[in-house]
Amino acid sequence: MENYCIKDINLAEKGKKNISYSIKELPVLTKIKERFEAEKPLVGIKVGMALHITTETAYLVDVLVAGGAEVAICSCNPLSSQDDSCAYLASKGIKCFGYKGETKEDYYKFIENVIKFKPHITIDDGCDLVNMLHEKYPELIANVIGGAEETTTGIQRLQAMQKAGALKYPMIATNDNFTKHMFDNHYGTGQSAIDGIIRASNILIAGKTFVVVGYGDCGKGVAKRAQGLGARVIVTEIDANPALQAVLDGHRVMKFCDAAKEGDIFLTVTGNKHVIPAEFAKTMRDGAILANAGHFDNEIDINGLKELATEMEEVRPLFMRYRINDRDIFVAGEGRLVNLACAEGHPSSVLDMSFAGQALAVEFLVKNKGKLEVGVINLPKELDYKIAEMKLQTLGIELDQLTKEQLEYLNSWQEGT
């Protein structure tokens, strides 16, 4: 097997420059890197990764290597790799497989390459690596200490595997760290998904009707940012609690079939399939833009749109026009993660915490080899909390401390009014 398969190794210098620039926004990871350099907790450990290969991910690889790990990495989405980051990693001798615009064939071949590296630890974003390892290479599972999963969709899949008795090693749900989903999903997706839509379409958000499909952590973040940019936000939901929250956050909530007729911009953030069925495109306004910020590209029924369209054309990079029912409907980023397909993904500052969670998860798995239960587990709360403390420290923010009297009060039950 070749050591790398990337677009252009000559982009390595550009990748290095981007990482050097981003390090200012990655202080928590840098602290972990310095500790790993001194303590070398990952010597002898092979880490196999399927993540979006970006500037921040390349730095996470640097952190793991500083700890003594050997790393092989592939992309977790055919459109999300940043070619300069891939080149940087390959130039440093990391087994790196990914380029922006991968064919489906290459996408799965690259995952296979990482599996053939025989990792002791897997880091996944979306569960494709863990899935293929279990389905096609079960004989390599004995080699694996554990894994960590970055995203909500991946955790849903792991839980389904666990329920079916198919999951064979401990998987840390990194996404469920407070310091991951409360920041990366909310502020990261909130900003980067809109960034992707703007870069793809160059459209003014102010005055538009912006439909957010799904009001989880990501949906809440996107709705808040769209509102801040002057859009009128409509939320569609299937769950009463987030729907109610959306109402009290000042958004209109309605069924998708009604929102379809009103929206100028539609963004899916549900983790579910065909939440924008193609038939609704017939009722949408001329010029409507559809985009997805959920993990997989099946939230918008793109094949259905293709069937309905009488014309199709790429009017701007990764921005397709479909002529349906005498109207132009646009789709950004082929319905794949718009923040990574059409922009650069989340800003470094939030990934600082998400990837600190991944680095600490790897260390935790190694330290607790053989002691963890098989299934989806959480990173211990103290480690999650430590990430928040480190982030605040790097921001120069201090906290108050409870007085002795307050501590006693909080631990007592006798004192009332």
The residue ranges that bind ligand ADE (CB under 6 A) are: 51-52, 54, 56-57, 340, 345-346, 351
Strands 170-173 and 375-377: parallel
Minimum distance, C-beta of residue 324 to ligand ADE, in the bound complex (Å):
30
- In the bound state with ligand ADE, the residue whose beta carbon lies nearer, of 107 and 322, is 107
Give the span between the Cα atoms of 121 and 123, in whole angstroms.
Answer: 7
Minimum distance, C-beta of residue 57 to ligand ADE, in the bound complex (Å):
5
- In the bound state with ligand ADE, the residue whose beta carbon lies nearer, of 98 and 345, is 345
- In the bound state with ligand ADE, the residue whose beta carbon lies nearer, of 57 and 179, is 57
Minimum distance, C-beta of residue 43 to ligand ADE, in the bound complex (Å):
26
Give the span between the Cα atoms of 211 and 223, in whole angstroms.
Answer: 8
Q: How many helices (H) and strands (E) does the chain have?
A: 17, 16
User: 381-394 and 348-367 are packed helices; what angle lies between their axes, rounded to 10 degrees?
Assistant: 140
- In the bound state with ligand ADE, the residue whose beta carbon lies nearer, of 183 and 215, is 183
Dihedral of alpha carbons 115, 269, 54, 172, sign: negative
- In the bound state with ligand ADE, the residue whose beta carbon lies nearer, of 42 and 351, is 351
Strands 327-332 and 319-324: antiparallel
Minimum distance, C-beta of residue 150 to ligand ADE, in the bound complex (Å):
7
Name the residue type at position 190: G
Minimum distance, C-beta of residue 53 to ligand ADE, in the bound complex (Å):
8
Minimum distance, C-beta of residue 21 to ligand ADE, in the bound complex (Å):
13
Alpha-helical segments (H) within 229-347: 240-248, 256-262, 302-308, 338-341
For 21, the token pair is 């620039």
Give the span between the Cα atoms of 55 and 52, in whole angstroms.
Answer: 9
Question: Which residues face 211 on adjacent strands?
Answer: 234, 266
Minimum distance, C-beta of residue 74 to ligand ADE, in the bound complex (Å):
13
Q: Which residue is nearest to ligand ADE (CB)?
A: 345
Helix (H, G, I), strand (E, B) or coil at 316: strand
- In the bound state with ligand ADE, the residue whose beta carbon lies nearer, of 57 and 201, is 57
- In the bound state with ligand ADE, the residue whose beta carbon lies nearer, of 11 and 51, is 51
Phi then psi dihedrals of residue 329, to 5 deg:
-115, 130
